[in-house]
């Protein structure tokens, strides 16, 4: 009787092949997961590189602190008040004492020049502007200087952010355009010192116009015409009167001159005195008299 073929070897072989195939599938699955992990790692690396290049997004408050530099917290509080829609005005003692040096110290050069020139132009074109108006402008500057600086800084930050700079370059540009300038403060202080010296000199060293001054002669002619009621006359021989006695004591406060009025065939000797009306403004007045002594009264 023949024996049945032994299939155990074949079954074992088939089982090994099945296990091998299953193992290969499992290995392939783990291989796929490993590849996905590598891809995730690669993506993370790309994100990290991108993050290093562009930098994390800084808040405007952080950039403002970087722009301001020294004493930034004071301006940060003003910024926070502005964001909360509260009054951001504060009193700036530095501007009260020395506005131009402070503005130049904070690199507000154009604003400083405007603050310097505006009062001069205003007084030149509108001489009758009251002192109270100038005082009001000074007080307004003291109150709005800090908030104005914060607003200017935010405009500069917005302008630089719009250029899509890298984080490092943005920070560098902010430090360069903001911060402080000791040299600017020195220059501003020097300008103030020169202007103050010129003002003091003009007040203490202004001399009264003399007999040879064209404005004095024009005023004298107008006064004579009003006194005589006619313009058909001529003024000649303007001559200083040498001071003596009481006149010598008042030489610094008045100039005495004599001149001749030719009215037809008549010649009249008249005297005039030039005195200060407002020395600080450089204004003087002219008076007529029959004698030097009459002009002293």
Sequence-ordered strand ranges (E) for the chain = 234-240, 254-263, 266-278, 283-289
* pLDDT tens-digit map of 27-64: 433 343 334 444 433 343 333 333 344 445 789 999 99
Nearest-CA neighbor of 215 among 195, 192, 238?
Answer: 238
- 233: its two tokens: 């006359």
Q: What is the pLDDT of residues 78-108, one digit of tens each?
A: 999 989 887 767 899 999 999 999 999 999 9
Please give the angle made by the CA atoms of 190, 191 and 192, to the nearest 5 degrees.
Answer: 90
- What global pTM score does this model have? 0.56
Higher pLDDT, 158 or 42: 158
Which residues have C-beta within 8 Å of that of residue 74, sequence separation ≥ 6? 90, 146
Topology (CATH level 3) of domain 214-295: Nuclear Transport Factor 2; Chain: A, (3.10.450)
DSSP secondary structure, 155-186, as one string: HHHHHHHTTT--HHHHHHHHHHHSS--HHHHH
Q: Cβ contacts of residue 286 below 8 Å, gap of 6+?
A: 216, 219, 220, 223, 272, 273, 274
Q: What is the pLDDT of residue 265?
A: 87
Q: What is the mean pLDDT of residues 199-215?
A: 78
- Look at residue 297 in the predicted model and tell me its pLDDT: 66
Lowest mean pLDDT among 16-20, 70-74, 236-240: 16-20
pLDDT for the residue 206: 66
- Give the number of residues written for the chain: 297
User: What mean pLDDT comes out for the span 132-145?
Assistant: 89
Residue 88's pLDDT is 66
Q: Quick check: 15 pLDDT over 80?
A: no
What is the token pair recorded at 282?
Answer: 């450089």
For residues 289 and 258, the answer to whether their CB atoms sit within 8 Å is no
């Amino acid at each position: 009787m023949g024996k049945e073929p032994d299939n155990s070897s074949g079954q074992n072989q088939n089982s090994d092949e099945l296990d091998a195939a299953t193992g290969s599938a499992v290995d392939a699955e783990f291989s796929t997961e490993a590849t996905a992990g590598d891809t995730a790692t690669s993506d993370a690396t790309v994100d990290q590189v991108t993050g290093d290049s562009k930098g994390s997004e800084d808040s405007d408050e952080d950039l403002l602190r970087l722009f301001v530099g020294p004493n930034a917290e004071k301006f940060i509080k003003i910024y926070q008040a502005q964001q909360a829609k509260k009054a951001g005005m504060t009193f700036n003692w530095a501007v009260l004492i020395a506005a131009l040096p402070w503005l130049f110290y904070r690199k507000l050069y154009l604003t400083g020049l405007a603050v310097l020139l505006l009062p001069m132009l205003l007084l030149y074109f509108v001489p009758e502007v009251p002192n109270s108006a100038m005082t009001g402008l000074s007080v307004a500057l003291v109150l709005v200087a800090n908030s104005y600086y914060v607003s200017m800084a935010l405009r500069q930050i917005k302008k630089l952010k719009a250029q899509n700079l890298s984080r490092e370059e943005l920070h560098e540009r902010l430090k360069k355009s903001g911060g402080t300038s000791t040299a600017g403060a020195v220059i501003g202080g020097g300008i103030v010192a020169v202007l103050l010296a010129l003002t003091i000199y003009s007040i203490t060293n202004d001399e009264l116009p003399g007999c040879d001054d064209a404005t004095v002669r024009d005023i004298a002619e107008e006064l004579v015409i009003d006194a005589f009621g006619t313009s058909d006359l001529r003024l000649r021989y303007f001559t200083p009167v040498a001071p003596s006695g009481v006149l010598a004591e008042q030489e610094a406060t008045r100039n005495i001159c004599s001149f001749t009025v030719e009215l037809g065939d008549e010649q009249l000797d008249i005297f005039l005195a030039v005195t200060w009306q407002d020395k600080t403004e450089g204004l003087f007045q002219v008076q007529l008299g029959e004698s030097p002594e009459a002009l002293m009264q």
